């Protein structure tokens, strides 16, 4: 059976969001993107948004306490009961531990962690291109470099965390959207 409680891990620009959307359409499970939820909070001018904005613009990680609260609220909503795809959470070991605590409380277990691998020069190129198209306020070169540094220092170590749990699937992120999607689908069977 195809796994339905998933986590996507990968550096900024690896295509996590795009692939998460595909999986959402194919499996009918919600995409839970902390980046999208935080951007919505900034737009709405909520307390979470006010706390997050400065970190996001600089390309730094938003404090664990804030992000963990956002993720927990979202995972508790009814549409996540039959499955979900986490995109951009967890990003630190404290967040991974918080997730390990909240999932059993909600009655679920994570089935797969898909790690998308892409080399760094390709990533920076992709992000600068996206900056031109989407005009996201954190897609400038300095913020991109900071986000890469944050990824390497704090998020990449989670790959071995999920490998040790025996749920890691590593996928080559090179090529077009369909090629990567096919590799992910094969890894979820």
Map residues 95-134 to x or -, x wherever contact with ligand ADP holds by CB under 6 A.
x---------------------------------------
Residue 30 vs 35, nearer CB to ligand ADP? 35
For 91, phi then psi, to 5°, come to -125, 0
* 3-state secondary structure (DSSP) of residue 146: helix
35 part of the interface to ligand ADP, by CB under 6 A: yes
* 3-state secondary structure (DSSP) of residue 32: strand
Q: Count residues near ligand ADP (CB under 6 A).
A: 17
Instruction: Report DSSP state, residue 3.
Output: -
74 part of the interface to ligand ADP, by CB under 6 A: no
Q: Which of 6, 8, 32, 62 binds ligand ADP (CB under 6 A)?
A: 62
Q: Is the dihedral of CA 152, 157, 158, 164 positive or negative?
A: positive
Chain centroid to CA 135: 20
Q: How far is the CB of 118 from ligand ADP (least distance, A)?
A: 12
Which runs of consecutive H residues, i.e. helices, occur in 45-164?
47-58, 64-75, 93-106, 120-134, 141-150, 157-164
Which residues ranging from 139 to 168 are in contact with ligand ADP (CB under 6 A)? 147
For 117, phi then psi, to 5°, come to -105, 130
Kind plus residue range of the DSSP H or E element containing 184: helix 177-188
49 part of the interface to ligand ADP, by CB under 6 A: no
48 part of the interface to ligand ADP, by CB under 6 A: no
Mind giving me the DSSP string for 118-130?
--HHHHHHHHHHH
173 part of the interface to ligand ADP, by CB under 6 A: no
Is residue 136 part of the annotated active site? The answer reads yes
Which of 5, 39, 74, 91 is catalytic? The answer is 91
Which residues ranging from 15 to 34 are in contact with ligand ADP (CB under 6 A)? 34
Contact set with ligand ADP (CB under 6 A): 12, 34-35, 38, 55-56, 59-62, 67, 88-89, 91, 95, 138, 147
């Amino acid at each position: 059976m195809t796994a339905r409680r998933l986590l996507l891990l990968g550096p900024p620009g690896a295509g996590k969001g795009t692939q998460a959307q595909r999986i959402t359409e194919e499996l009918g499970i919600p995409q839970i993107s902390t980046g999208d939820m935080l951007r919505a909070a900034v737009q709405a001018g909520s307390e979470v948004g006010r706390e997050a904005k400065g970190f996001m613009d600089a390309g730094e990680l938003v404090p664990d306490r804030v992000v963990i609260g956002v993720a927990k609220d979202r995972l508790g909503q009814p549409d996540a009961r039959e499955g979900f795809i986490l995109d951009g959470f967890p990003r630190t070991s404290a967040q991974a531990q918080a997730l390990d605590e909240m999932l059993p409380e909600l009655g679920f277990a994570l089935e797969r962690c898909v790690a998308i691998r892409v080399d760094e020069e390709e990533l920076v190129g992709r992000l600068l291109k996206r900056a031109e198209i989407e005009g996201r306020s954190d897609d400038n070169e300095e913020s991109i470099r900071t986000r890469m540094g944050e990824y390497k220092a704090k998020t990449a170590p989670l790959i071995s965390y999920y490998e040790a749990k025996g749920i890691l699937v590593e996928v080559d992120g090179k090529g077009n959207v369909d090629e990567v999607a096919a590799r992910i689908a094969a890894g979820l069977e």
